[in-house]
Amino acid sequence: MANIELLVTVASWEERFILGLKHLLDESSPRQLLMYYFEDYADRTIDNRTYINELCQEKGVILESHSLSFKEPKQAWTTIYDTLKVDRLVEKEIIIDFTTMPREILWTILNLLDGSSAVINYVYSKPEKYNGIWLSRDPGKPRFVYKLGGEAKLGAKTLLLVITGYDAERVEQLVRFFDPHHSLLGIQVGNQYNNLGMNMSKYKQYERQSSFTLFEMDAYSADHGFAVIETQLGKYLNDYNIIMSSLGPKPSAIALYRLKIKYPQTSLAYAPSNEYNSEYSLGFGGNCSGKL
């Protein structure tokens, strides 16, 4: 990639944030880096943010850094709207590094860029491995993503589609909160990152319940599972209020956003956690990238 106007990221304390972003800065030489960080975890990310500031000065990259809060989604949307400045990106090429970017923020950025003439590239840096004990816990109150809440039909039943991940409590929280008539649970295929033990085994209990349908998908495929998910949604699209959420491999969030745009009546929901492991992941395991 060359002639990149803007690189957008969210700061993290993880190694892959630094290693992946350094690789992107070396490879793409963007004119500007727009880095958001969460004030809720500012103490954890300060060292990495300081390093990135020094790296940008060394490379002559203009750095803008802005704080967000998990507790204020509307304010976060306003901050991103004011700082992304979509009008300046007319026919410009940008990169969204969503490696450590919450899905709610990724969807907000994609939505603000929707309809613009910007050339949008995206990159996700995989870790070498995840913490084998726990990643997140104490799930918070689910919420619809600002401006992406869909169009509810009065009197229609609710379908909940969740791309599952290692935190089964967040899935359970979504089901309890939205109380759907039926739930579709997408399960990542393969045993990468001990997926069979940390993910698949946690959802076998739902196979015996008629109000759940489990299906396999691959978020690391070329379409990040879009076609498989669309097939599963097929018979529900006309008669149900459909709520979609991504808790599994983060590239699945790209597929859900594309489905949201194709079917505007659907809703995107975010399921926050109140606690994240300070040793969430280790190392850098390569990139998954594409273009919208």
Per-residue pLDDT, 158: 97
Tell me the helix, strand and coil percentages in the chain, rounded to 5.
Answer: 40, 30, 35
% residues pLDDT > 70 (the chain): 88
pLDDT higher for 200 or 20?
20
- Report the candidate in 76, 129, 43, 7 with the shortest Cα–Cα distance to residue 272: 76
* DSSP-derived pairing of the beta strands 129-130 and 281-282: antiparallel
Mean pLDDT within 135-139: 62
Q: What is the CA radius of gyration of the chain?
A: 19
pLDDT category, 54, cuts 50, 70, 90? very high
CATH topology agreement for domains 4-130+280-291 and 136-275: yes
Contact 96, 105 (CB under 8 A): no
Level-2 CATH architecture, domain 4-130+280-291: 3-Layer(aba) Sandwich (3.40)
* DSSP-derived pairing of the beta strands 93-97 and 119-125: parallel
Flag the least confident range among 13-17, 27-31, 63-67, 195-199: 195-199
Contact 206, 214 (CB under 8 A): yes
* DSSP-derived pairing of the beta strands 143-144 and 267-270: antiparallel
Mean pLDDT within 160-173: 90
Flag the least confident range among 87-91, 225-229, 234-238: 87-91
Spatial separation of the C-alpha atoms in residues 96 and 116, rounded to whole Å: 15
Per-residue pLDDT, 127: 82
Flag the least confident range among 34-43, 189-198, 229-238: 189-198
Per-residue pLDDT, 254: 98
Look over the chain and give the mean of its residue pLDDT values, rounded to a whole number: 90
Q: Which CATH class is domain 136-275?
A: alpha beta
pLDDT category, 167, cuts 50, 70, 90? confident
Spatial separation of the C-alpha atoms in residues 103 and 95, rounded to whole Å: 16
Residue 152 has pLDDT above 90, yes or no: no
| CA-to-CA separations, 163 to 23, 159, 246, 250, 254, in angstroms, rounded | 29, 13, 5, 9, 12
| CA-to-CA separations, 273 to 22, 142, 176, 255, in angstroms, rounded | 28, 9, 15, 22
CA 199 to chain centre: 18
Domain boundaries, the chain: 4-130+280-291, 136-275
